[in-house]
Amino acid sequence: MQNEELHFHYVATLSEARELVDQFDRFWVSNCGCRESGDGCSRSRLDLCLFFDPQMGGTGSDFREVDREFVRGILKETEEKHLISRPFRYADDKSRVQGICFCCDDCCWYFTKDGKYECDKGKYVERTDSDSCAGCGTCVDVCYYDAREIAEGELSVAGDNCFGCALCVDVCPEGSITMTER
């Protein structure tokens, strides 16, 4: 995609988010503007907007510098709470990543507002081995993109809806789901 065609946010796997974090030595966080301006969030804490430089100044209140251990805590919570890693780019240079939002469908405007905010699909897409799938529906419960559905005990996947977050991979008890390059 050309730089000007890219949206501000894109979806990444948690592994990709960790790789991004490993490229930086300094970090800042702010409270999430979505979590602060709405009814709060029943899924996760407020201070999950991560920045790799102080230029933007945060999306919510309490913008401050944090250490790598603090960032590891954010990544751990992201995994435990099944949050989506949504890196964001500089507005004036979309070839560079400025930070990462960690989002859910409980409070984030990206998922809750009419018309959903634009976001680029990630580098990966899910592949499900239907022979090993038990049809338990665990993956359906964490798919914020309506790419997975259980009907009459069978899983159906709408691959075009997959944004490549890999939450389904993380929760599949059978190990039936992998991510492949889009």
| Predicted structure pTM score | 0.89
Answer yes or no: do 96 and 135 share one domain: no
Say which residue, 50 or 105, is predicted with more confidence: 50
Write the pLDDT tens digit of every residue in 84-93. 999 999 989 9
Are 101 and 129 members of one domain? no
Distances (CA, A) of 131 to 70, 114, 128, 154, 163: 41, 37, 9, 11, 23
Tens digit of each residue's pLDDT (9 = 90 or more) over 103-112:
887 667 777 6
Report the relative pairing of strands 154-157 and 177-181 from DSSP bridges: unpaired
Domain count, the chain: 2
Predicted confidence at residue 41, as pLDDT, reads 76
Residues 22 and 108 in one domain: yes
Question: Any idea how long the chain is?
Answer: 182
Asked if 12 and 75 sit in the same domain, the reply is yes
74 token code pair: 């954010």
Q: What range defines the domain where residue 105 resides?
A: 3-112
Q: Are residues 140 and 166 in the same domain?
A: yes
Rounded Cα distance, 172 and 169, in Å: 6
120: amino acid identity, one letter: D
